[in-house]
Amino acid sequence: MSPGTRKFLNFLIIVGIIFTAISLVLSFQVLDKNNNKIANINSDIEKFETLIGSKWNSNKNLEHRIDTSVILLLNKDIETETKNYIIPKIIGVDALDINDTLGDNILLKDLLKYREIFEKETTAEIDELYISILSLKDEITILELQNNQFKLYALLFHVMGLILILSRHIFE
């Protein structure tokens, strides 16, 4: 075997080893980094979903308390002052906030208005959280596509590296 051929075979082996090393770097560094990002994003999504459930339950809870307050308000046997004292306690409004929220004398329209305001605020917060979830899911999709591309590149480099290393036997 001529010295030029031996140098060429050594060159093929070195390039094959480099390609195999590149495939390992892609497999372990880049893919692990992306998989960690995906895991963190999934954790954030779970937190947002839990928060959405909590806000939804809070909204439903307030609806039930307001429904109870409406029944109490429509009861003619209970004095207005008693209603004005009890209804904020049922709804969960502080006595200090009652003037701003419901007024001095609680009326049905006040309760319904309070319910509508709270529902709009809750719905807006849930919508924002849901949009955040969709955005995070888009990020996951992008990272998964990158992972698939890097897996293909890593496989390509690995196969090419093995071919180059094994080609030494063909030229001998």
Summarize pLDDT for 13-46 with one digit per residue, the tens: 888 889 888 888 888 888 889 999 999 999 999 9
Rounded Cα–Cα distance for residues 127 and 33 (Å): 30
Residue 103: phi and psi, rounded to 5, are 90, 175
Band the pLDDT of 1: cuts 50, 70, 90: low
Higher pLDDT, 112 or 140: 140
Contact 82, 131 (CB under 8 A): no
Summarize pLDDT for 76-103 with one digit per residue, the tens: 787 777 777 777 778 776 544 544 555 5
Contact 24, 169 (CB under 8 A): no
Domain ranges of the chain: 3-171
pTM value is: 0.71
Q: Which structure tokens are listed for 16?
A: 């094959």
Calculate Rg over the CA atoms of the chain.
33
DSSP character for 151? H
